Amino acid sequence: MEEESDEYSEEDEENYEEDEEDDEEDDEEDGEDDEEEEEEIKKQLQNVSFSTLLKIKKNGPTKQQQKSLPLQKQPQKQSQEEFNSKDNSNNSKNKFNIKRENNDAPVEMSAKIPVSRFKQIVPNKKLKFRDPRFDSLSGGTFNEEVYRKRYGFLDDVIKKDIDKMEKQHKELEEGTRDKERLSRMIQSKRSQLKAQQMKDEKRDTRNKLLEKEISHVKKGKAPYHITNKKLKEFELQERFKQLKQSNKLDKYIEKRRKKTSHKEMVYLPKRRNLSDE
């Protein structure tokens, strides 16, 4: 028995030593393989610039860079993708599946799922405010003549405002900002009144021409379309009549003459001084 135990012990020792030798050889082979892979990676990375390596470190490699990178990193990504897909499948199984008895019936929400705090169960009807003055339902097209008849009193209000501002303007000291601001406001109000007055005159002259044409048609004459040129001529005639009645015609003609002469003088060539040469 003692001899057999000694033989077994010797055989076990020999087997153990052989296993250790085989493990050492495998480790050496794995180490050599790792060294070869490292050398291949270094060779591949020698061609890559330092800036691209920094970008890959910060943002991760792009699809083209992934192809150029060594093949050692690809199985790691595959394993991560498999792990994520397993997690997603487990999560989808855990979700509550809502079923309907009939396809036409509405979906029944589960009581197990908590209702969001911000969910609006019963929708409230929003109040829509509208101004009837600017609504298409309450009115038709804009008629300037009717508007002027209704709100013509606003011109008198503007005139009263101008008088008040002129009084304030006289009381203020010269060169102050308030005085300059008031003078600009007075000027804008006056120009507003003048523009409105010219509009009213144009409209009145057009209405007069239309009345004349209607009377001519009633007498049996052919209808004549009023052109813009004809309208301007008629406006000038009406303006000259008004200026003649107010004794301002000569002053207006002189002003127009100076304006036209100044325009002609601008386009004239300058006289050359021969004495300077």
DSSP secondary structure string, 167-197? HHHHHSPTT-HHHHHHHHHHHHHHHHHHHHH
Tokens at 215, concatenated: 């009377």
Could you read off the pLDDT of 88-133 as tens digits, one per residue? 555 544 455 566 677 788 777 777 877 777 776 677 777 778 887 7
6: pLDDT strictly greater than 50: no
C-alpha 35: how far from its chain's center?
Answer: 59
What are the backbone angles phi and psi of residue 159, rounded to the nearest 5°?
A: -65, -40
Q: Which residue, among 196, 204, 201, has the nearest Cα to 155 in the 3D structure?
A: 196
Region 156-183: mean pLDDT is 90
22: pLDDT strictly greater than 70: no
Categorise residue 220: left if φ over 0, alpha if ψ from -120 to 50, beta otherwise. left
Per DSSP, 225 falls in state P
Region 44-59: mean pLDDT is 72
SS3 label, residue 42: helix
254: pLDDT strictly greater than 70: yes
- Asked if residue 157 lies in contact with residue 189, where contact means CB atoms within 8 angstroms, the answer is no
Q: For residue 77, what pLDDT band results from cuts at 50, 70 and 90?
A: very low
What's the confidence (pLDDT) of residue 94?
Answer: 47
Region 48-64: mean pLDDT is 69
Region 12-25: mean pLDDT is 58
What's the confidence (pLDDT) of residue 160?
Answer: 93
- Asked if residue 152 lies in contact with residue 145, where contact means CB atoms within 8 angstroms, the answer is no
187: pLDDT strictly greater than 90: yes
239: pLDDT strictly greater than 60: yes
83: pLDDT strictly greater than 70: no
Could you read off the pLDDT of 198-231 as tens digits, one per residue? 899 888 888 888 888 888 888 888 877 778 888 8
CA–CA gap between residue 182 and residue 203 (Å, rounded): 32
- Mean pLDDT taken over the chain: 74
